[in-house]
Amino acid sequence: MIGMLLLIRRDLMLAFRGGTDAAMAVVFFILAATLFPFGVGPDPEVLPRIGGGVIWVVALLAAMLSLERMFSADYEDGSLEQFVLSPLPLVLVALAKIIAHWLTTGVLLLVAAPVLAVFYNLPAAAFLPLIVSMLLGTPTLSLIGAIGAALTLGARRSGVLISLLVLPLYIPVLIFGALVVDGALAGRDYGNLLMVLGGFLLLALAAAPWATAAALRQSIE
């Protein structure tokens, strides 16, 4: 556990020292979400109806932007091979990289989401469901995305390949995340939807680190 925590700390320090990937994701998230009202018009009845879905779609796309760099930097400088040879199990290495990716990308999206909710004129009753759904959904995006990033490691145009691999797996998270916000707007009970998102997170947490570790080992060999 100490080794995994040190690896998370290392990745966080490198991410905040560079800052490019994390900043690019959140800037894309904000800019892309603010463009939709210009296309559909400033109708106060339309914006709240589409707000939850738009925020979730753009958050999904923003999370995908930084997936390519999750393992590639360590692969290029040889650090990943040292991780494989180290006493730390490769599963914990993969989990540490996933946690670091979520802390540098998903948390920023989570913080920016309420600001965009105000921009879309979402009522106060929808704020908490939006935040909780993203709190459950964004780690799932990082877990699933890590599998795609590991499978395409070292390949040409890996960003496109990652998108093709993970986008179909992202769709259920997107659907239920948007339904949570829609249910809150309509006054319906959204607890079951949050439980489904929690189930997705637990399933991904149980399977994704092992699948990522296997893909990393295969890419190195």
Q: State residue 154's pLDDT score.
A: 67
Q: Dig out the tokens for 74 from the structure.
A: 């360590």
**Nearest to residue 140, comparing CAs of 191, 201, 195, 80?**
201
What is the chain's mean pLDDT, rounded? 84
- The percent of residues in the chain predicted with pLDDT above 70, rounded, is 93
* Range from 13-22, 61-70, 138-147, 161-170 carrying the lowest mean pLDDT: 13-22
Model confidence at 22, pLDDT cuts 50, 70, 90, reads low
Whole-prediction pTM = 0.88
Model confidence pLDDT, tens digit, residues 154-171: 666 666 788 888 888 999
